[in-house]
Chains A and B, each alone.
Chain A
Amino acid sequence: MTSVRERRLPEPATPTAPVAPGLGDAIGAYQDAVMRLEGLDPVTTELVRLRCARQHQCFT
């Protein structure tokens, strides 16, 4: 099930440059690196990810 929330930050009237352009990429690289770890099997990793999402009420 996908839950869509209303936008909570106003959209800028004109396109603006990101405030911290490297930060989003760095977060993505971190998450990718964690998901590539092989110490835990993929099924258990996914179960943990789903449990965390439920705990934080993240349904996207």
Chain B
Amino acid sequence: MAPDAGQPGLVAPDLEERLARFAPEVRDVITTLHGELWQALDPEVLELCRLRIATLQGDDREAARAAPGAPVAPEKAAAIGDWPDSPLFSERERACLAFTEQFVGDVAGVAQSDIDALLAHFSPGEVQAFVSALLALDQHQRLALGLRTVLAPKEDTA
């Protein structure tokens, strides 16, 4: 079951707090957006992708937290970096995680084979929704990390 729109904790807490101070109108639309994106696809798959984005970006805070209502078993979350070889991940999840890695690392380099791997498990409409959800997850983790790096006191980023 997908998290409810407006449920606290869908957006990184420190990003939400900073936007509330500096750009409350953006905080409001991001909150709405994250309520929508969790409806786009299986929330467990999206949570796995969110965790993989966090590890790729070296965002320890985001990697350590869990999105509410999108449960992933702790041992699976811990194995996120080993998804290609770990037996904990299904082929469907592997296709999404492979796409996520390509998207985060070089979005212009997404190949037709990456898309076809998704189409083996999802309809074209679901693929479109997945990519849109991935865009928001990736962008807002980068935003949280960037603001944390630029605005936080030195001891906070150590």
Binds A, one of B59-67, B69-77, B126-134: B126-134
Minimum distance in angstroms from A23 CB to a CB of chain B: 5
A36 touches B123 (CB 8 A): no
Minimum distance in angstroms from A3 CB to a CB of chain B: 11
Question: Of all chain A residues, which has the CB nearest B28?
Answer: A33
A16 touches B23 (CB 8 A): no
| Chain A CB within 8 A of B40 CB | yes
For residue B101, which residues in chain A have a CB less than 8 angstroms away from its CB? none
- Of B40, B107, B119, the contact of A19 (CB 8 Å cutoff): B40
- Of B22, B33, B115, the contact of A8 (CB 8 Å cutoff): B115
A22 touches B125 (CB 8 A): no
Report, as a range, how many residues of chain B touch the other chain. Answer: 20 to 34
B126 touches A19 (CB 8 A): yes
- Of A19, A27, A33, A58, the contact of B125 (CB 8 Å cutoff): A19
| Chain A CB within 8 A of B95 CB | no
For residue A4, which residues in chain B have a CB less than 8 angstroms away from its CB? none
Please, what's the 1-or-0 string for A28-59, where 1 marks a CB less than 8 Å from any CB in chain B?
Answer: 01101110110100000000000000001110
Q: In chain B, residues 66-114, which have Cβ atoms closer than 8 Å to a Cβ of chain A?
A: 107-108, 112
Minimum distance in angstroms from A9 CB to a CB of chain B: 4
A27 to B25 alpha-carbon distance, docked (Å): 14
For residue B33, which residues in chain A have a CB less than 8 angstroms away from its CB? 23, 26-27, 29-30
Chain A residues at the B interface, C-beta cutoff of 8 Å:
8-12, 16, 18-20, 22-27, 29-30, 32-34, 36-37, 39, 56-58
